[in-house]
Amino acid sequence: MPYTDRNLAHAVDPDRDVMQFAEADTMRAKSMQERLIVGLDVPTLKEAEKAVRELEGAVSFYKIGYQLAFAGGLDFARELASGGIKVFLDMKLLDIDNTVAKGVENIVRMGVTMLTLHAYPKTMKAAVEAAKGSELCLLGVTVLTSMDEQDMIDAGYEYDPHTLVLRRSEQALHAGMGGIVCSAEEAEAVRRIVGPDMAVVTPGIRPAGSDHGDQKRVVTPAQAIRNGSSHLVVGRPVVAAPDRRAAAEAILAEMRSA
Ligand code: C5P
């Protein structure tokens, strides 16, 4: 299903300037918080719980990926979701259609908001069918933000990252996916393909001057918003910061300034 979020629709609505300034500012502040997804890429459940406590009130959307999933993170995802906190389960599924479909059916029961799978046409079709009638937003991972042109050649692809991202975005749209995961470098071009309703979720976010780590296609928080990202995924710049709350608030301030 398309990711239809009223606040998000305002955020990408070209007519939003007609709103009253005060109302627009409040909505923008609220919607920016809903658009920041913090990656709980920490080694233990204890550390994840600590991070969520430290970020309470500032962050309302968390991503749980491989690291935490294999350390009790799936139960933690259920717990957060049942407490009203949005969870993005970053499982990057890819398998035969039947296996993907059965996995998605069970994930639907977890109550999470978003789930990733690799944006292969058959995989997306199987997942969309399995999630039909649910609120789960399925996201197609186009090309990992840690990959550049040479990495694509090494992996046997004929396409450069940008071309493959656009091709897979179009395939995701036709498969009925809820959104796309790509670099914010590609968000503008992706937005033109998928239209205003689909989520365009961008990892590889780095505030100016911060360490890139293994990420190659990186963009600052403000630029990502300007490029049309609906949601920004930020891991290490928040969870590895000495003051996580201050780091998240600085990123939110930058998003709001965009
Ligand atoms: O620490 P950092 O901000 O680089 O974390 C980005 C997060 O987004 C990681 O959890 C990574 O697995 C995830 N991700 C990504 N690129 C994608 C999809 C997900 O970096 N294409």
Q: CA-to-CA distance for 134 and 130, rounded, in angstroms? A: 9
The CATH number of whichever domain residue 73 belongs to comes to 3.20.20.70
Say if 64 falls within a structural domain: yes
Helices 161-175 and 184-194: crossing angle in degrees, nearest 10, is 40
pLDDT level of residue 210 (50, 70, 90 thresholds): confident
Using pLDDT thresholds of 50, 70 and 90, give the confidence band for residue 25.
low
Residue 214's pLDDT band (cuts 50, 70, 90)? confident
pLDDT of residue 208: 83
Q: What is the pTM of this model?
A: 0.89
Atom of ligand 1 nearest to the CA of 67: 10
Dist CA 118 CA 18 (whole Å):
39
- What is the percent of the chain where pLDDT is above 70? 88
Residue nearest to atom 13 of ligand 1 (CA): 203
The answer, yes or no, to whether any atom of ligand 1 lies below 6 A from the CB of 41, is yes
- Say what the pLDDT of residue 16 is: 39
Residue 14 scores a pLDDT above 50:
no
Indicate whether 144 belongs to any domain.
yes
Query: How many angstroms separate the alpha carbon of residue 203 from the centre of ligand 1?
Result: 5
Nearest to 140 by CA among 82, 85, 91: 91
Beta bridge partners, 179, equal: 139, 199
For atom 12 of ligand 1, the residue with the nearest CA is: 65
Mean per-residue pLDDT over the chain, rounded: 90
Asked about 30 being catalytic, the answer comes back as no
The answer to whether position 183 is within a domain reads yes
Residue 157 forms part of a structural domain:
yes
CA of 233 to the centre of ligand 1 (A): 7
Q: How far apart are CA 28 and CA 12, in angstroms?
A: 11
Amino acid 1: pLDDT? 52
% pLDDT > 90, the chain: 83
Instruction: For residue 70, count CB atoms less than 10 angstroms from its CB and return exposed for 0-12, middle for 13-18, buried for 19 or more.
Output: exposed
Range 157-165 contact pairs with CB under 8 angstroms and sequence separation of 24 or more: 161/186, 161/217, 162/186, 162/189, 165/189, 165/190
CA nearest neighbour of 142 among 157, 113, 112, 162: 162
The HSE-up count of residue 140 (CA atoms within 13 Å, CB side) is 33
Model confidence pLDDT, tens digit, residues 164-191: 999 999 999 999 999 999 999 999 999 9
pLDDT band at 94 (very low <50, low <70, confident <90, very high): very high
**Alpha carbons 172 and 58: distance in angstroms, whole number:** 32
Residue 245: pLDDT over 90:
yes
Total Cβ atoms within 10 A of residue 126: 24
109, exposed or middle or buried, with CB in 10 Å at 0-12, 13-18, 19+?
A: exposed
Average the pLDDT over 96-116 and give the result: 98
Task: Tell me the C-alpha distance between 20 and 26, whole Å.
Answer: 10
Catalytic: which of 30, 86, 92, 132? 92
Q: Is residue 1 part of a domain?
A: no
- 118 bridge partner residues: 141
37 alpha carbon – ligand 1 mean position (Å) = 11
- Expressed as residue numbers, the domain containing 172 is 6-256
The number of distinct structural domains making up the chain is 1
Residue 162 is assigned to a structural domain of this protein: yes
141 falls within a domain: yes
Judge whether 3 and 198 are in contact, CB under 8 Å.
yes
Would you call 53 exposed, middle or buried from its count of C-beta atoms within 10 A (0-12, 13-18, 19+)? exposed
More confident residue, 31 or 5: 31
Find the mean pLDDT for residues 110-129. Answer: 98
